[in-house]
Amino acid sequence: MLVIDDSEAVLEIVSTILKLSGHSVDEAYDGIEAVKRLQENSYDVVITDFQMPGMGGVEVCNFLKSQFPGVYIIGMSGSSNALKKLKDAGADVCLSKPFQLRELEEAIENRVSSARLDSVAVPSYRSEEISPASL
């Protein structure tokens, strides 16, 4: 999991909470640092702030959707307008700061649950394979 925020306090709080919940977490202070980490590591979930110097959350979302389309993006901001922009740029879930721990856990659990469902193999049968005669 990668957490991106230019606020050291927010970055530390979110990362610590996630680590205490058993997640492996890397941190980036802005979008530019995040791109470097994304090119070096693989992440299932990226949590990004909206407003950051250099490369903000919208640009991060655009980059992720074009280069890593399978990554689940959680956007966060204190502005409802910013949350809409993050969502429009491809964030799967947006959390309004300050958010409750439960909200973050639910957003991550939704990703984990959908990833489990995606990995379940469902057999497919052609209609001619199942017929009354074959039963």
pLDDT at 111: 77
- Could you tell me the pTM of the whole model? 0.82
Q: For the segment 58-71, what is each residue's pLDDT rounded down to a tens digit?
A: 999 999 999 999 99
Domains and CATH numbers, the chain: 2-102+111-117 (3.40.50.2300)
Give the dihedral sign, CA 100/16/72/48.
positive
**What mean pLDDT comes out for the span 49-78?**
96
78-125, pLDDT tens digit by residue?
A: 999 999 999 999 999 999 999 998 999 999 988 766 554 444 444 444
Amino acid at 77: S
Give the angle subtended at the CA of 100 by the CAs of 96 and 106, to the nearest 5°. Answer: 90
The pLDDT value recorded for residue 48 is: 98
